[in-house]
Each structure stands twice: as C-alpha cells, then as structure tokens.
Structure 1
Amino acid sequence: MIRKKSRREESLDHAELARLLPAPGDPHLSLDRHLLLEEHLMSEIQRTAPAPAPARRPARRVLLIGVPVTAAALAGAFAFTALTGSGGRGPAAATPPPVEAPVVRIEPGSTAQLASTVEHIAAAASASKTPEPGPGQYIYIKSKVSYLSVLHTGTDKSKTWVQPLHIREAWNSPDGKQGWLDEPGYQPKGGTTLDTDVESSLNAPSYDYLKTLPTDPDALLKKIYKETKGQGNSPDQEAFTTVGDLLGEELAPAKLNAALYRAAAKIPGVVVVDHAQDAAGREGIALAHVDQQSGDRTEWIFDRKTYAYLGSRAVQVKQADDVKPGTVLEYTAVLERAVVDAQKQRPGAQGTGA
C-alpha cells in the first residue's frame, strides 16, 4: 500500500474472506458482528490502485479486531492479497504476513533539556549540506520501515501485529508531479508510479513547495495550525505529526529543517526522551509527543553526537484498545537521502548524496 494520509478502500469480498478465516470460537458472534469483522479485515488486506498523491506514511490504528483471529488466519489473508493483486499497475508481489509487534521499556520524557536539545538539533540542521535537486533530477530516499498492520484483542491476551521490517525506496521530482516507489511485498513487483496532478501542500509536500514555507518558527507554526485545523485527534498532535511527516521521507532546505525543529519545540506537550532506537537499531535521543486520545507517543530520533535525524518510532505509552504499554506500533530509519538523475536510479557516480 502507498503510504499517505488518505486512503480509499475496495469493495469487500465477504465470501472469499469467510473461506480464508477459521470458524470463530467463543464468544459466539452475531451475523452483524461477523460482517463488521470481515469488512475491517478486508479493508486492510485489499487496497485500490495507488491514488495520485505523493507517498505518505499510513495512519495508525489501522484495524481493531475485537474477537480472536489466529496468526494462521492472518497469514492466509495476506497470502490471499498476493493471489488477488495489490492494486498496482504491475504483477502482484507476495505480501509478507505480519509479525508480533516488539515491546520496549517506556522511557520517561522531560522538558528540562528541551530548549537546549532543540537548539543543538536546529544548529546541526542549519549546518548540513543538503543537496538541491535541479531540473530533471529526482530526490531519492531509502528507508527501513515497519508499520502497524492489525490490532488483535483475544479472549485471554492481546497481540498487536506489524509489518516485518523491510526496505522502502522512493523517487520524487522536485515539483512532486513525478515519482516512483519500490517497496517489495507491499507494492507491485518492481514498484509503482507516484505520478500525480495533485497540487503540493502540507499534506502532500514537494521540494519546490517546501522552499516556499516561512523559515521563521512562529510564522511556520501558525501556518501549520491553520492549514491542519480540524484534522487529527487534537490540534497539537496534528501539528506535531505534520512536522514529522516533513522530516522523514522528504528533502527540505536546511533553513526550513531548522525552523521545523524550533517550531515543534513550541507545540505544547513536546518532550525530550533520552533513549530511543530507530528501525535500523541505531540508538539516539528523541523529541516526542503523546497523542492523548490514542495513548501512543511519536518519537523523532536523532544521533546523540551529531544530532542528525535518524528515523522515528511510535510507542504505546498508555493502555488503550487492549494494546500493551511499550508496544512499538511503527518505526522507521532513513538510510540514505540523495539527488539522482533519473527515476529508479540509485545513488552512485551520477547522484549527489546527503
């Protein structure tokens, strides 16, 4: 599935799903509850063709199942996705079955060192040599990722399922109109187009659009709150999420990156977490914010010495939906950012790396 904020769902094939899933145990489900379960599961394992919008990370809380579903059933459902296709424009790729989400120690967050930590991060961002794409070039970003797949509430215990860690590579033109995504197991074999006519915005940014944003932190934060009004679980959480989306699978001018960090520090509830680990296993410090409605904490992870951005993590810190505190709902690691001369070209002699 293409990572983006908005998603459309395919029509549901109840009969096929019923064939794949084992008969439920106690408690007995009504027909209405059965259909609701099927609809939720099918909305996760089947997607439409890629929407004409830049690749985005998925919204969390993808699926909540209030009845037992076995790992075997999940594996069968994902195998069904491979047989029926993933909605792309090429041959279907086998979708790996989800794995049980890792559980980590919940590290405390504090505002004691927030101002100084953000200044270190912003200074490092300002000093970084960010490549600037030229006409006909593409922004290349390689990541290692794992996103939430299924929340499962059983009768005796709860498990949260996530995608296995996997590589994701994206190419985007500076204007955001052309692109390519290669994410084996989650996109058609060989990848899928990201070409779009959608105008760039905070929710669908491009490099050219990011260059137009104010670099004054107060003005930038005001714009973010204004343009995301009514979205997300709260204004503060949505502002933090929006800034985070601009830090991951994007390339932004150095001055804007610094402004984004300084703006984020002004969002109520932002704290520093002393110990966090990205999807590549790299340890660092984090800027974090708790979604008070869902109970999960989004963490942006930085190298402890250089303050360079490493990746992100979402950890459940409050009991919610029977998800254990400490459960890692998603985590990412940015492995490489570069400017290359063509779609599908990886950094090398002709690319300018960062």
Structure 2
Amino acid sequence: MNDLCEVRELWSQTAEPSAARLGAIRQRLLEETWSREQLGGVGVRRSQRVWAVRTAVAGGLAAAASVGVVVLPGGDGPGPAPADAAELLTRAAAAAGDGRDIDPRPGQFVYQESTALQLTTGSGGDSWFRKVRYQEWQRADGAVPIYRRTTLLGLVPLLGRKVPPRALELARIDTGGRFLPCTSQPAEPNAPYAVHRKLPTDTARLRSALAARVDAGQRAELTHDQAVWINLTGLASAPTPPKVQAALFTVARQTKGARLSGRTTDAAGRPGLAVTFDARPGEREDLIFDAKTYRFLGHRGVWTGTGNTPPRGTTTGDVAVTKTAVVDDLPAGVSTSGYSCPAASGG
C-alpha cells in the first residue's frame, strides 16, 4: 500500500451524492465522518443521529504529562490586507512554511484539538447543530489506537429555525472519550502524522495525488479542480508537517475559481479571512485563515443549492483547529491496557 492510499484511509470523504443532489444531501449530512471508510475500518456509521465534520478533529489539552507543548506558529502579517485569493494563499503558504515540524518520538503522541459544528437530526426530522470540542491523541508509532474525546459546548439552531425541546438530551449522544479501533493497516495508519510526513511537497505531484484519491462515485460529478479542493481542505485540517501544509496552500492558489470571500469567523469564534471554491454541485468549501498572521484556522462547507432541504446557506461542516502539539502521554487515568494495535507488517 503506498503512502497516499494510507492517507486516503485517514481523511477520505464519505460517499458523495449522485445526480439526485437535493434528495441525497440530507443523508450525507447525517453521516458521521469518522466512519469505516475514513479510517480504514475505524468507527461506526450513525446515519440517523449525527453528521460530523470531515476531518480528524479534537479539543482542549487535558491533564496529561507533556513535554513542552509545540504549537505551530504563523506569520506576522505585515502590509495591507490581501487583495485577492492568490495573495492570501501566498501569505498563508509562507506562514505555514515558517512553522516547526513537531517531530514526535515513537512513544510520544501527536495531539490536536478543534472546535466543530455538527448537524444533528432528531426522529421527528428537526435539525440543529451541536457545537463540540474534539480532542485527539495519536501515538507517533501507531502502537496503540487513536484516543478521542468529544465535549458538548452548546446547541445552535439552523438558519431561520429553533432548537427543538429534546435537542439537549439527544445532543449528549456520543460525548465522552473512547479508543478508536485499530485501522486495517497496522502502525502508520494509526499515526496519521507519520503518513503525512511522506507526502510530496512538490505542488505538481501533490496536486496529482490529491486528485487521484477521489472515489469512483464522485468522478462523474466533479471536475479535476473540485477533486483537488475537496481532499485539500480535509488534509489541511489534519496534523500535517509545515512544508506539506505550505504546499497545500500553494496548490489552492493554483486552483482556478478560488476566490477571496472576505472576513468571517471560524467555529471557535476567531476572526479570519476566507478563500472559497465551489467544490461540489450546490456546495462551496472555504479555507479560513487568521486575518493578521495568515495562519490556517480551519475549513467550512456551505450549501449553496436551491430548494429548502437544506436551506440555502446552511453550514454542512465547520472545523476550527485550535492546537497541535506533542505530548508524552494520554490523559491522566486513561490506560492503553487491552488496546494495543498489531505490529507493523511492512505493507
């Protein structure tokens, strides 16, 4: 299995809708991203309860014995505001490239935290958003499964709607911590950062690799640039070495149709600037950057199609990456006993 196949297992998208876009969009919104397809066998699809954001996301550093936290820095943001998407993405690539490789030792963990909005639907068909914090501990050598915590931060209504009375009870579903099952290929696929370090930084090769990883079911309705953008946004939000992230934003700059959509606020409430692209029929995907440092903040999907299901302007995914670090251990009280992964097979 080559490196890009392993990466596909880690951050591929759920099955995309066919030409019957409006009817299929609801089902896709209800599918949790952490499904078997996305982690090579990890997770369970909960199509009737929660649609989660597409990427490996996490939240708040808990009481774990840690080495000095290494947070990837951004640039200083000198000069006037970017005039267009190309200028913003050029600055974003420079800011990402200035970051330090977090370089964990085999027994250490790559930790990432994020804030996200999840679209949730109850049995009566009413929908609302859960605002959640995700925490993710990924051991560098993949010897133990990924450990994930989900914390409910609050409820948010859909555009023009109210949060139903039973929403709080339903919103508590799937909160708490758990080990994800080991992936189908042992060791490295359980340690995404190790896989991401092998990605090409040459933009032509990276662009080709991103486009090549599109599922057969998506190819009929997506252009080459759309295929690139869909996979680019998911990878940008995952723990990724600075040089690879810089190359991703250079690829984004080279994508025809990317445009500056102006000021916005990410899922964590931070002010930013967004570059947007019509990534699918009826849906755009935004990359969000800090308005001053041009550091990457996260990504967002927005429904732009017609009709009322969902309402135009509905967020279809919203991830704000708030911290990436190296820590020495899992949170206090969490044991890996009984949760070891198979030894690497060399495949």
Partner of 1:213: 199
Does 2:233 correspond to 1:244? yes
In our comparison, the structure showing a higher alpha carbon Rg is 1
Deviation at 1:4, TM superposition (A): 6.9
**Alpha carbons of 1:231 and 1:122: their partners in 2 closer, same or farther (altered >3 Å)?**
farther
Q: Partners in 1 of 2:198 and 2:33 — Cα distance?
A: 33
Partner of 2:174: 187
Q: Partners in 1 of 2:326 and 2:267 — Cα distance?
A: 23
Partner of 1:168: 134
Moved more, 314-323 or 237-246: 314-323
Counting only pairs closer than 5 Å after superposition, residues 85-100 of structure 1 correspond to structure 2 as none
Q: Partners in 2 of 1:212 and 1:200 — Cα distance?
A: 15
Partner of 2:277: 289
Unmatched segments (≥5 aa) in structure 2: 1-9, 16-22, 51-81, 152-171, 334-347
2:303 corresponds to which of 287, 303, 316: 316
Deviation at 1:128, TM superposition (A): 1.5
Counting only pairs closer than 5 Å after superposition, residues 54-203 of structure 1 correspond to structure 2 as 113-150=84-121, 161-176=127-142, 178-184=145-151, 185-187=172-174, 189-198=176-185
Tell me if the contact between 2:115 and 2:267 (Cα under 8 Å) persists in the aligned partners: yes
The answer to which structure, 1 or 2, has the higher relative contact order (CA under 8 A, 6+ apart) is: 2
Partner of 1:21: none
**Alpha carbons of 1:44 and 1:125: their partners in 2 closer, same or farther (altered >3 Å)?**
closer
Deviation at 1:286, TM superposition (A): 1.2
Identity %: 24
Q: Partners in 1 of 2:320 and 2:44 — Cα distance?
A: 15
The count of residues paired between Structure 1 and Structure 2 equals 258
Q: Partners in 2 of 1:215 and 1:48 — Cα distance?
A: 27
SS in structure 2 at match of 1:251: coil
> TM-score normalised to the size of structure 2?
0.62
> TM-score normalised to the size of structure 1?
0.61
Unmatched segments (≥5 aa) in structure 1: 8-36, 64-76, 79-110, 347-354
Moved more, 119-128 or 320-329: 320-329
Deviation at 1:172, TM superposition (A): 1.0
Does 2:319 correspond to 1:329? no
Q: Partners in 1 of 2:259 and 2:41 — Cα distance?
A: 28
**Alpha carbons of 1:189 and 1:284: their partners in 2 closer, same or farther (altered >3 Å)?**
closer
Q: Partners in 1 of 2:96 and 2:245 — Cα distance?
A: 6
Deviation at 1:137, TM superposition (A): 0.8
**Alpha carbons of 1:117 and 1:49: their partners in 2 closer, same or farther (altered >3 Å)?**
closer
Tell me if the contact between 2:97 and 2:242 (Cα under 8 Å) persists in the aligned partners: yes
